[in-house]
Structure 1
């Protein structure tokens, strides 16, 4: 049996369960001799990410994504959405359901992350990721009474995705004397095989930071956070600009940006340079993209090959946040002046980019972490917010539980907590 056919057979179960939950006794009596119209099409194609909802660590074991959703207490919310969606007759009628469910999922995940009363580790960022995929899978397979156009379905998918990431929730109250920081983390990634259980400490840090208030000698600092997808296509559609550009266009504006992602083992890096080049490494949908970072429609796009951090990196290094070393990463790579970008050897250094040379990679490489820094600060400079600080923080790599059949262990949880807490402390230094 192929992987695709296996996924399709498994998809029949939740659709049938959701349907049975929606048939009231009166309806069931009236339809005893008439097969009910299904509200989900299990044959509708899913994204690669959504297909991983079926992935297990060992044969006969529970599917990783749904199990993490259950352990975190999100299952009821997912089922409630599926049931209500099944009863919704049209895309127009689904708009409010979709946006409110996504926003509620984000708020629930933040509340759980910052709670001391959880039965499953509060720092685990993975349940939010997998719960969101349950919602998008249901939307992709939904077959309401009134047909849904491809454009309407895409709009609903974008709505539930962005609201459940906190993208639409980045706003600050008007409080005099308060400084404001916008932060983003990332979803788990590289989830093939037994790596389906991976987490991302940058996402865990974002959940800890959303709504956090720091008391500093200079006054209060308020943080708003969101979690970005590991998808080239979502970046093309402007998800980064939707976070940072929208924040800059609000009446109460931020004072600093910090994009955060997972980087190298054993250390934090404040990246000096972000580059206008994507290297094509596959994303969470196994899609690749290589070339200059595309523009995002509707936002100013100043043309620049490299953007330099304006974060107070020396203060971050000297703050003694521990337990990991913090350093400024000065490295970058460029295509030599006169060469064709993407061909031939790159020149990699730690000094200053050459005037006229095309960017090949920033200190954080040429993947989506580099691009999050580049896009956030490109829109910052494009909107003329030159006094707003901006830059990128790479966390240490979070390893996986030792037992390949385990979702967690004490060392894994302790490492994630240490990384996330130090990231929070470093944002406080900013």
Structure 2
């Protein structure tokens, strides 16, 4: 996701749910509790996006091919029978948690026969989540539901479906604890609606994984983050990593944010920078300026934060066919008294006191910010013994041609990247003292 390093309305109510799944489309009574007039996000509006040549909508088709339709249908059907805000909260939280765990189980081979799509495919999770959030926005309950309560329900659904409610790290000693994060697909406009994110695919492979190392076992917990500035402003990174770090019984020994970066190589980033460069997110919104603080979390004001990952071990260990680079690059503003103006000066030594970040090694987009925020809260909580940093995967690309949703070469590349990511996390765990 190192972008800078490249240096609704539907027809009748029944049709509104046809986009969610064939199963839901058949449930005519359920359609009576939904409206087509709700304001949708840009991401949710892409549920109707087709290939340039036309045909069925891409996102819902991927959901169907992965066998996720029943999960979406179950939520939409039960919403219409829900009689209170508290019951709705229980319903959407359980639906989010179930979507995440089903995606993990399917990815790791525990749900054989579920759909026809490659099990390493991260896209059905993304699109099923959007189908669920769209239904929740369009839901017209039998009782009064405030805008704040609906927002809270959407947040509960989102967090659950990203693994943020999961608690797979064990208590006590004897087992190393690792927390990692991936990302949703991004750059989705145009033919990019077919895009997959190998970082998200890797997170599904890593969640709950027990890794055997020469120094003993390690257990991994994974989450995925949205490619949306607003979610980061609300503190979703701190909610994930900060909450885990504050739990002293389950505190991770290492945290690693993961995203898609440059073609043909992995990058272990040395520096995260506290600046966002404005590139549009998945809702086509940009944000520029210093990375804001997240309310309620102790956070230092360092402009740069350096990785503490055991990068030498990660580079020295054979992990796969892709090159593994230790990226030294960072950029500062030429006039530190007026950051955001003037020229950027990029170097590979180390930042000097008083210099203001313009870019970290991973650029100035949300991947860089995930490293910056997770390690800022780690330092703010005094967890300096916890190792932390960021890994950029190679770019996956798209299926060949302009009409295929997948192909063998596309799937092979994603599997190779995800497998090497797992191997690099394993190498990093082996390098912990």
TM range (shorter): over 0.9
Could you tell me how far 1:337 is from its partner in structure 2? 4.7
Answer whether contact 1:214 1:222 (CA < 8 A) is retained. Answer: yes
Residue number among 401, 409, 425 corresponding to 1:403 in the alignment: 401
Structure 1 counterpart of 2:420: 422
Which of 343, 346, 349 is the aligned partner of 1:345?
A: 343
Q: Distance in 2 between matches of 1:361 and 1:11?
A: 47
Aligned match of 1:263? 261
**For 1:23 and 1:189, how far apart are their aligned partners in 2?**
35
Are positions 1:85 and 2:83 aligned together? Answer: no
Q: Work out whether residues 276 and 290 of structure 2, in 8 Å CA contact, stay in contact via their aligned partners in 1.
A: yes
* Maintained 8 Å contact 1:15/1:39: no
Higher relative contact order (Cα pairs below 8 Å, separated by 6+ residues)? 2
Which of 66, 71, 74 is the equivalent residue of 2:60? 66
Query: 2:334 touches 2:342 (CA, 8 Å); kept in 1?
Result: no
Structure 2 residue 41 is the aligned partner of structure 1 residue 43: no
The verdict on how the C-alpha distance between 1:427 and 1:397 changes in structure 2, with shifts beyond 3 A counting, is same
C-alpha distance in 2 between matches for 1:338 and 1:371? 20
Shift in alpha-carbon separation, 1:338–1:66, aligned structure 2, 3 A: closer
Distance 2:218 2:83 in 1: 45
Shift of 1:23: 3.8
Secondary structure of residue in 1 paired with 2:324: strand
CA-based RMSD: 1.7
Cα distance in 1, alignment partners of residues 25 and 61 from structure 2 = 22
Distance between the aligned counterparts of 1:206 and 1:10, measured in 2?
Answer: 38
Q: CA deviation at 1:93?
A: 2.3
CA contact (8 A) 1:171 1:252 kept: no
Aligned ranges 1:361-400 → 2 under 5 Å: 361-400=359-398
Q: 1:105 aligns with which of 99, 103, 111?
A: 99
The unaligned stretches of length 5 or more in structure 2 are 1-7, 429-433
Once the two structures are superposed, residues 203-261 of structure 1 have per-residue CA deviations (whole angstroms, 9 ceiling, x without a partner) of: 00000000001111110011000000000000011110111001011222110000000
1:14, 1:239 → 2: CA distance? 30
- The structural deviation recorded for 1:10 is 7.6
Query: Deviation at 1:58?
Result: 4.3
The number of equivalent residue pairs is: 413
Secondary structure of the corresponding residue to residue 9 of structure 1: coil
Q: How far apart in 1 are the matches of 2:376 and 2:47?
A: 35
Quote how far apart the aligned CAs of 1:59 are: 4.3
Counterpart of 1:21? 27
Q: How does the TM-score come out when normalised to structure 1?
A: 0.93
1:20 Cα deviation after fit: 6.7
2:431 maps to: none
Q: Please give the alpha-carbon distance, in whole angstroms, between the structure 1 residues aligned to 2:352 and 2:173.
A: 43
Moved more, 224-233 or 59-68: 59-68
Aligned to 1:210: 207
Aligned-pair CA distance for 1:377: 0.2
Whole-Å separation in 1 of the counterparts to 2:172 and 2:336:
51
Query: Which consecutive residues of structure 1, in runs of 5 or more, have no partner in the other structure?
Result: 1-5, 25-36
Larger mean CA deviation between 57-66 and 192-201 belongs to 57-66
Q: Distance in 2 between matches of 1:358 and 1:189?
A: 28
By how many angstroms is 1:12 displaced? 5.0
Give the conservation status (yes or no) of the 8 Å contact 2:168–2:208. Answer: no
Q: State the Cα deviation string for residues 329-361 of structure 1 (Å, max 9, x = none).
A: 000001135441110101110001121011110
| Aligned partners of 2:136 and 2:154 also within 8 Å | yes
TM-score, L = length of structure 2: 0.92
| Aligned mates of 2:306, 2:329 — CA distance in 1 | 11
Greater C-alpha radius of gyration: 1
Deviating 4+ runs (over 6 angstroms): none
CA contact under 8 A between 2:273 and 2:369: conserved in structure 1? yes
Contact 2:266–2:324 (CA under 8 A) maintained in structure 1: yes
Q: Could you tell me which residue of structure 2 aligns to residue 152 of structure 1?
A: 149
Give the equivalent residue in structure 1 for 2:252.
Answer: 254
Query: Contact 1:194–1:404 at 8 Å: present in 2 too?
Result: yes
How big is each residue's C-alpha offset from its partner over 1:347-393, in whole Å with a ceiling of 9 and x where there is no partner? Answer: 11000112101111000000000000000000000000000000000
Counterpart secondary structure, 1:222: strand
- Name the residue aligned to 1:328: 326
CA distance in 1, matches of 2:146, 2:266: 46
- Aligned partner of 2:411 in structure 1 is 413
Moved more, 7-16 or 103-112: 7-16
Residues 150-159 or 173-182, more deviating:
173-182
Give me the whole-angstrom Cα distance separating, in 1, the residues matched to 2:291 and 2:368: 10
Contact 1:22 1:87 in 2 (8 A): no
